[in-house]
A and B are shown apart, each in its own frame.
Chain A
Amino acid sequence: MNDLSDAEMILVIGSNTTEQHPLASTRIFEALDKGAELYVVDPRKIRLTDFAHGYAPIEPGTNLPMINAMIHVIIEEDLINEEFIKNRTENYEEMKESVKDCTPEWAQSISKVPADTIRQFARKYATTDKAMIIFTMGVTQQTTAVKSIRALANLAMITGHVGRPSTGINPLRGQNNVQGAGDMGALPDFLPGYQRPEWPETKEHFSKIWGDFSCLRGNNIIQMFNLIDEGIMKAAYIVGENPVLSDPDQTHTMHCLEKVPFLVVQDIFFTETAEYADVVLPAASFLEREGTYTNTDRRVQMIHKVIEPIGDSKPDWEIIAEIMKRIGMDANYEGPSDIMDELNEAAEIYGGITHDRIREVGLQWPCLTKEHPGTPILHVGEFKRGKGLFTVNDFEYIGDQRSEEYPFILTTGRVTHMYHTGTMTRKVWTLALEYPEGFVEIHTKDAEELGIKDHQPIRITSARGSIVAPALITNRINEKTLFVPFHFAESPANRLTGQNLDPIINIPALKVSAVRIEVE
């Protein structure tokens, strides 16, 4: 993160950094103070745009054409880093060929960002030594998520913005411990330490620790709900997640939760999802337990218990260990540090991280041995896979588009004072007062056309469902574009979003839904 404050150019794509990652944005402000320039790509004039040197009001879901056009400009104007491409990458020519026709004018016709703005972004990015890209869900929650990120990697590689301080493409994590959860293998296609179940050595390695186990790739949450719907999946155990509000297509989600024969929900509060559960397991909050979180920076940090668990609640690890015991497994952990010890063996990248070492200051993985100092920057000198591979990422429309029936594009997101589905923040007095209810951001011109007044409740309908929320009229959003925060159960944005998935990793396109407005 410190890298960020030394950057000379920061390109923020699909990240409302000030509001969603206030501390990361502190680093952006630091960099600006030192003279850095800031470029923002977003369908909403987010707060950062007030400080930006360039702003691209992009049509939701069309980042890919814009990025490809930037690459096109950089190649055409010969701003590439030839040496880097030659020594550290492969497959450049094929990629180059693929963006031949991706002119800024072509991109403008799709993404609505003026061609000259695209040129300005491309030139600045290519010609700045320390240029960093920051992105979050604005890029990932669309049907071209993977392609867009690969295209960003192309962009970083043709200009050699990789593997040095204050460069690279940097996803900011949505939660304090998404990174940690992924590291632990809370993903359908990885075991702890990002080991693929299909690799032959994986099973061998883990069997040594756990004994024999079924080493198969799992399903992601979207697929699981579909399997429930098809009657194939018979039980679900949901830990610390509120899919009724956070997953796309709420109606479908509720239907599946109702249908699944056995549902266990483990959470610190009784959530909307818990309403459907056969068994609810009360978990202890971060203040009531020990353990570690791993942040965006791959830094593994301790959390310390401040108070004893309230009521019958228990730390998640204890609940899981209890369940393991009852189904006849070994779970002889005295505490989280025993689990960490097991992890040292299980995941190479965590090899040398122990509670004792991180009690004061965290360590960044990979940290291979007890003496290893941790790794602040990845990919120094060489990529993990050897040479950086250029990829071809052609744009195609998948999923929702504007139509006569649904002339608006809805994008979803958050507000500073709320966290996710509001299970915690809506219980905090100050925060709840700041945003007592949801809203729909709508451009002044669209509101005028439809005769909508500020704060007037309006109905928004997509092919999936319909919600009502008060209008918030603003000129800080693109025309014909709406924004609804997804925190509020009374106006659940995810009743509108759909199951349009990125074909590669199946992430839902929460940021792009076609909708219409009805004035109540």
Chain B
Amino acid sequence: MEANRLYKLNRDKLDQVLDIWNENSSVYIPVGKGRDIQLLPLGEGERTEDYINLTLPVKEMVFEQKEGLFKWTRDEEGIHVEGLAHQHSKDRILFGVRACDTYGVAYTDRFYLGEFPDPNYKSRRTETTIVAVNCLRAGEHCFCTSVGTGVFSTVGHDLALTPFDSHYLVEVGTPKGQGLIDRAQTFFTETDEGMLKEKNNLMARVEESFPLKMDLTNLWDDMAKTFNADFWLDEAHACIGCTGCTNVCPTCTCFNVVEENTDEDHGQRVRYWDSCQIDHFTRNAEHHNPRDAVSRVRYRIYDKLKYIEERFGYKGCSGCGRCTDVCPTYISIIDIIGKIQEAARENPEPPAIHQITKIRHEIMDREIKSQNGLFSPDVATITRVKQETPEIKRLFMKYDDPELHKNYEHKGQFFQVTVFGEGEVPLSIPYGPEMTDELVFDFKNVGSVTEKLFQMKEGDKVGLRGPYGRAFPYESLKGRNLIFIGSGVAMAPLRTIIEPVMSNHADFKQVYVMASALRYEKLLYKEEMLEWAKVPNLTVKYALKYPTDKVDAYSGYVNDLLPDLDLDWTETTALLCASPERIKKLARDLMDLGMKPTNILVTLETHMRCGAGKCGHCKVGSHYMCVDGPVFNYEEMMALPNEY
């Protein structure tokens, strides 16, 4: 970092400086006693210097516990959507932040502002200035020096103050920080590098005094050897899912969304802090939950100690110790580190493949062209409804703003579809790039939002965000044999490829569509399949549990049909959409036939809320199913922890 300017400020002048800053901004200062310290606006409490840390990380000021995302109104003309990203208090100066929290902010900046930038965070953050005050003593569970994020602030602050007996050493971190100096210039005396030596001596003394020191050099190796260690079960038994640990963590970024309606025609979508420590965080339809009690507790620890750093290059744990302080059942990340190291020493497992495979860190940089920002949907009107099966419907729709169709880029795998006042669900794109003035979704009625969608008719309005996600790689399929396998509504995501393949069938060799269901009536795209089968190099095969007289169908599993297909399996790509267990069974059979795992493409549809790598619900290991997936090849899938 370029050498920043240094100043001295007399300690007894600090309050005057804060008053000056407060003239044009709102200054927040630490107020309280013992462990009960919060940032309050200047004047609302007595400023304290006697505190270890703020009770809640300063993150709460830029990523608030509850924030409005957008509001909507319905009138005769239609539905109007207005983003709420900018609804918050303006220009705040947060004074007295500790190094673990400034580090946390440096990470959350990276997290929220990278890739799909989060409009709410961005707006709050731009209006926030952070003044760090370095610690001279450690709390019982502080271990920032062990993770390397403290003890003195190095990132994330605009100004950093180090307290000496009669003065503060003031380091400028950013132009915003310099701006603060300029506003109260007379109180700051510029000083030179000489002071830094004093600061480093002081820092060494403070570090020396830390009660907790851990050697974390080989931690990732140790973690790879203890993924299934016994002690995880004890931790899992203890956790009551109170979410305390994630609520107090400066690097926890996850949220859920909910609708708050004033009446039938007015409402807003809000987001609020969510936690991977509770069951419903990853719960999917039909009670499928990819994480059990052990993986839930383990996930937080892996995320903090490894996944975040692996993906974003920042420490996921800044060593603030808050989660250990707060846990009612004494689950302590510090103890767990000890247990990991001990188990790795005494009882190592063969390293877990998903912990040692080098992984991709690819997030598609793709600004979503929503008029109101990332989280606000664009309004579309339903043009046609088709009942596919008793539980599955097909909705055709057009954006209310025709410009959006012109700018539409057909990349991505799914949309986030909003039923205003009810909620939002991810739905796959079941059409090819040739659809330029209409959008279509096929969905099954399984719950609250899909139920409302199911009742919709021509002329009704929905909201759309997207497209999101990594799609099937259409171009790379050219010149190959293709086999599509999907059952029920799982055929929908495959149709996005089937459509263009149909239109350009000469580009492909032999193509099979394997349709499976309990009975013929439950099949999606029954009529279309009859059409598809007319394409010369395309064959549709049916595998049904119960016989039918409508088509020539095999009674039994799709797997049984595979060996008899006249395919050169090395020249074939398979596209599968099914439950993870089904995918595994199919992939094993296909590999037995000679396919390479990289030619087996799957989609992993975990619980998704935002679609844009922000809400955290869809994470598997350090991967976001919504942006890195949902499409993966089987080799990639196997390199993920089995938590999808």
Contact = CB atoms under 8 A, between A and B. Distances in A.
Interface stretch (A287-295, A341-349, A366-374, A429-437): A429-437
A445 interface: no
A22 B272 contact: no
A25 B240 CA distance: 11
B608 to A, nearest CB: 15
Interface stretch (B7-15, B23-31, B274-282, B480-488): B274-282
Contacts of A359: none
A416 B243 contact: no
Nearest to B270: A429
A29 interface: yes
Nearest to B242: A22
A22 B240 contact: yes
A426 to B, nearest CB: 14
A29 B238 contact: yes
Nearest to A23: B328
B247 to A, nearest CB: 10
Contacts of B329: 18, 22, 25-26, 29
A162 B272 CA distance: 48
Interface string B250-288: 000000101000000000000010110011100000010
A454 B288 CA distance: 12
Given A47-B237, A51-B237, 6 more contacts: A22-B242, A22-B328, A30-B330, A47-B240, A416-B240, A430-B272
A50 interface: yes
Contacts of B258: 429
The A interface is mostly helix, strand or loop, or mixed, namely helix
Interface in B279-312: 279-280, 287
A416 B238 contact: no
A33 B335 CA distance: 12
B241 interface: yes
Contact of A26 (B234, B243, B275, B328): B328
A11 to B, nearest CB: 19
A42 to B, nearest CB: 15
Given A429-B256, A430-B256, A50 B328 contact: no
A18 B278 contact: no
A446 interface: no
Contacts of B280: 433-434, 436
What are the 9 tightest A-B residue pairs by CB atom distance, in nearest-first order?
A50-B237, A22-B328, A433-B280, A29-B330, A26-B328, A429-B258, A416-B240, A434-B280, A434-B278
A277 to B, nearest CB: 25
A416 B241 contact: yes
Contacts of B234: 50
B186 to A, nearest CB: 39
Interface of A: 18-19, 22-23, 25-26, 29-30, 33, 47, 50-51, 416-417, 429-430, 433-434, 436, 454-455
A417 B241 contact: yes
Interface residues of B, number: 19
Contacts of B238: 18, 29, 47, 50-51
Given A47-B237, A430-B256, A26 B272 contact: no
Contact of A455 (B256, B274, B275, B287): B287
Contacts of A33: 330
Given A26-B328, A26-B330, A47-B240, A430 B274 contact: yes
A222 to B, nearest CB: 32
Contact of A429 (B241, B272, B279, B330): B272
A430 to B, nearest CB: 7
9 contacts: A19-B240, A22-B329, A25-B328, A26-B330, A50-B238, A51-B237, A430-B243, A430-B272, A434-B241
A480 B241 CA distance: 29
Nearest to B260: A429
Contacts of B256: 429-430, 433
Q: Which of A51, A416, A429 gathers most chain B CB within 10 Å?
A: A429
Interface in B208-253: 234, 237-238, 240-243
A380 B345 CA distance: 50
A33 B272 CA distance: 35
A310 to B, nearest CB: 15
Contacts of B279: 434
A454 B330 contact: no
A47 B241 CA distance: 12
A430 B544 CA distance: 40
A50 B330 CA distance: 15
B287 A454 contact: yes
B315 to A, nearest CB: 27
Contacts of A433: 256, 280
Contacts of A417: 241, 278
Interface string B306-337: 00000000000000000000001110000000
A29 B328 CA distance: 9
A20 to B, nearest CB: 10
A420 B241 CA distance: 18
Nearest to B279: A434
Contacts of A25: 328-329
A434 B276 CA distance: 12
A47 B279 CA distance: 16
B272 to A, nearest CB: 6
Nearest to A29: B330
B377 to A, nearest CB: 20
Nearest to B275: A430
Nearest to B243: A430
A430 B237 CA distance: 21
Interface in B572-591: none
A87 B432 CA distance: 90
Contacts of A22: 240, 242, 328-329
Nearest to B233: A50
Contacts of B241: 416-417, 434
A30 B280 CA distance: 29
Nearest to B327: A26
Contacts of B243: 430
Contacts of B242: 22, 416
A443 B272 CA distance: 37
A23 B238 CA distance: 13
A430 B243 CA distance: 10
A430 B275 CA distance: 9
A22 B243 CA distance: 13
Contacts of A30: 330
Q: Which of A47, A51, A430, A454 gathers most chain B CB within 10 Å?
A: A430
Nearest to B331: A29
Contacts of B240: 18-19, 22, 47, 416
Contacts of A19: 240
A113 B536 CA distance: 73
B278 A430 contact: yes
A305 to B, nearest CB: 15
A380 to B, nearest CB: 29
Contacts of A434: 241, 278-280
Interface in B434-471: none
B245 to A, nearest CB: 13
Interface string B516-534: 0000000000000000000
B285 to A, nearest CB: 12
B277 to A, nearest CB: 11
Interface string B492-527: 000000000000000000000000000000000000
Nearest to A48: B237
A19 B243 CA distance: 13
B287 to A, nearest CB: 6
Nearest to B329: A29
Nearest to B335: A33
A23 B329 CA distance: 8
B254 to A, nearest CB: 11
Contacts of A18: 238, 240, 329
B292 to A, nearest CB: 13
A26 B243 CA distance: 15
Nearest to B286: A455
Nearest to B330: A29
Q: Which of B234, B274, B280 gathers most chain A CB within 10 Å?
A: B280
